[in-house]
Every structure is written in C-alpha cells, then in structure tokens.
C-alpha cells in the first residue's frame, strides 16, 4: 500500500503546484456562492424553510462537484501519457490497481478540500435557521459519494483517451448520459423505466441525500459505480501494455 500513498501524495502536490487545482476550486466556490444567494435563499420576496434552503444548496453543490470531479480527473492518466511520464509508473514494480487507487484518492482529497470550503453556507443556515446537523452531514456525504463516482468515471475516461480534452469530453458525455437517464425513463414503460430511474446518477439517488435521508441502497449505488469505473480504469491500463 506504500505505493498508493506515494502516488496519492504526488498527485496531491501536482494539484497544489498547478493553477488547475486553484482555478477549479475558485470556480466551484464562486458558482456555489451565486447559487446559494440567488437560488437556495430564493430572493427576498419569498420566505423558505431552512431545510428547503439546505436541500437546494446541496442540489447546486452536487452539480458543481460533479463538474469539478470531471475537470480534475481528466488529467490523471491522459496528461501523464502526453508528458511521457506514464512509463515511469508502468515500468516500476507497482500494480495497476495501486496506480489507479493512488490517483483516485489524490483527486478525492482535492474534492474533499474544496467541498469543505463551502461549509460556511450550511453553517449560516444552521446559525440563522432550523436544520439538523444530520441533514448537513448526510447532504455532504451524498455530495462526496457523487463526487467519487464521477471522479472514477473521469479517471476511466482519462485512461481511455489520449488527450485531456478528449478525456474531459468523454467523461462529461458519460456522466451527462447517466444524469439524463431519468428523462428517458419518463417515456419508457416498466420494467425499463424502473431500471433507468434506479441507474440515473443524480435524480432519485441524490434527492434522498439532499433532503437528509440516508439510505444504504444509495450509498451502495455510488460505491458500486465508483468501483466499476475504477476496475475499468485498471483494465484499460492493463490493455495499454499491449500497444
């Protein structure tokens, strides 16, 4: 596991030493702030329940975190391939699982840090309104689980594509399709409708977290999506050794 720690630490330093990490963090905080003011608080003419405001905040934060995860993950393998540094990891006595896990945890650390910086908004609701700590924690757990699933999809896209731009587009298309399945579900008949609704990455799954409801099936869903795409990333890296 020491290799995972080593790769994790290098990834984290790479984000801290490049403008990408700071630019992405600034963008997320700006959009979350605007969303919070303009959408979650709902302007001045309409009074809202604190719990509704908090749910709306998590709705916005889940979207920006998904975009952040794609933006951060697009470089993980594609940039190394482009710079010719991937060979360093491929020819070292390190397994592909260790490479993928180290990189994934590096991205997750940045997502966690950026998400942590948004905590002043729920804190304002806690101080000025009536919401439970549990609602805040469950909401953040949902944001992080979604971020993890999307980061794993982004990592897979980065392992598959030869450039960061293609990786970002591929990742966005995959995540976008999984977001929009619930729209397809609307026009489908059971059992296809049920399957698509259950598989949609945001629609039903995130709604529970946003409203402070913790369901094991939702946690398992996000962990399963993350595991599936991390496994796909490992297999993609293995396949790269043949060409």
Partner 1 sequence: MGEYAPARIPVIEIVELSKYYGEARAVGPLSFTIEKGEIVGLLGLNGAGKTTTLRMLASDLLPTSGRMVVDGVDLAAEPGLVRARIGYLPDRPPLYGEMTVREFLEFAARLRDVAASDVPARVSEVLGLTSLVERADDRIDTLSHGFKQRVGIAQAIVHKPSLLLLDEPISGLDPVQIVEMRELIRSLRGVQTIVISSHILSEISETCDRLLVLRDGSLVAQGSESELREHMVTHDLAVVVRLAADETEAELVELVRGLDGVTRVARGAADEPGADAVKLAVSATADVRAEVCRALCAKGYAVVGLERGARELESVFLELAGRGKREREEAAS
Catalog residues that contact partner 1 under the rule CB under 8 A: 2-3, 6, 10, 13-14, 17-18, 83-95, 241-243
Minimum distance from residue 64 beta carbon to partner 1 (Å): 26
Residues ≥6 apart with Cβ < 8 Å to 111: 65, 68, 69, 72, 144, 147, 148, 151
Q: Decide if 141 contacts 209 (C-beta within 8 A).
A: yes
- CA distance between the termini of the chain: 28
Minimum distance from residue 86 beta carbon to partner 1 (Å): 8
| Nearer to partner 1 among residue 2 and residue 44 (C-beta) | 2
Q: CA-CA distance, 128 to 236, in Å (whole number)?
A: 49
Q: Which two tokens stand for residue 190?
A: 């059971």
| Nearer to partner 1 among residue 16 and residue 49 (C-beta) | 16
Residues ≥6 apart with Cβ < 8 Å to 116: none
Minimum distance from residue 116 beta carbon to partner 1 (Å): 24
Q: Which two tokens stand for residue 106?
A: 């590096």
| Nearer to partner 1 among residue 19 and residue 43 (C-beta) | 19
| Nearer to partner 1 among residue 14 and residue 185 (C-beta) | 14
Q: CA-CA distance, 57 to 51, in Å (whole number)?
A: 10
Q: CA-CA distance, 59 to 54, in Å (whole number)?
A: 9
Minimum distance from residue 82 beta carbon to partner 1 (Å): 11
Minimum distance from residue 243 beta carbon to partner 1 (Å): 7
Minimum distance from residue 74 beta carbon to partner 1 (Å): 17
| Nearer to partner 1 among residue 32 and residue 81 (C-beta) | 81
Q: CA-CA distance, 33 to 25, in Å (whole number)?
A: 12
| Nearer to partner 1 among residue 99 and residue 210 (C-beta) | 99
The total number of residues written for the chain in this structure: 243
Neighbour-count burial of 165, counting CB atoms closer than 10 A to its CB (0-12 exposed, 13-18 middle, 19+ buried):
exposed
Minimum distance from residue 33 beta carbon to partner 1 (Å): 29
| Nearer to partner 1 among residue 80 and residue 197 (C-beta) | 80
Nearest Cα residue to 16 out of 109, 152, 99, 147 = 109
């Amino acid at each position: 596991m020491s290799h995972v720690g080593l790769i994790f630490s290098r990834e984290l330093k790479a984000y801290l030493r490049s403008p990408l990490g700071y630019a992405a963090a600034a963008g997320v905080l700006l959009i979350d702030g605007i969303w919070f003011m303009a959408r979650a608080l709902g302007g001045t003419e309409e009074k809202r329940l604190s719990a509704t405001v908090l749910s709306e905040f998590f709705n916005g934060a889940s979207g920006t975190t998904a975009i952040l995860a794609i933006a951060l993950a697009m470089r993980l393998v594609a940039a190394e391939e482009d710079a010719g540094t991937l060979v360093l990891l491929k020819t070292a006595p390190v397994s592909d699982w260790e490479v993928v896990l180290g990189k994934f945890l590096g991205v997750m650390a940045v997502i966690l840090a950026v998400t942590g910086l948004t905590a002043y908004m729920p804190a304002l609701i806690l101080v000025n309104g009536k919401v439970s700590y549990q609602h805040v924690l469950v909401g953040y757990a949902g944001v992080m689980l979604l971020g993890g699933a999307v980061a794993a999809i982004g990592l897979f896209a980065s392992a598959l594509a030869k450039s960061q731009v293609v990786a970002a587009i591929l990742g966005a298309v995959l995540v976008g399709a999984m977001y929009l399945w619930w729209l397809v579900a609307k026009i489908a008949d059971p059992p296809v409708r049920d399957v698509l609704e259950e598989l949609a990455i945001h629609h039903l799954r995130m709604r529970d977290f946003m409203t402070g409801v913790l369901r094991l099936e939702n946690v398992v869903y996000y962990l399963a999506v993350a595991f599936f795409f991390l496994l796909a990333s490992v297999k993609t890296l293995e396949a790269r050794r043949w060409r």
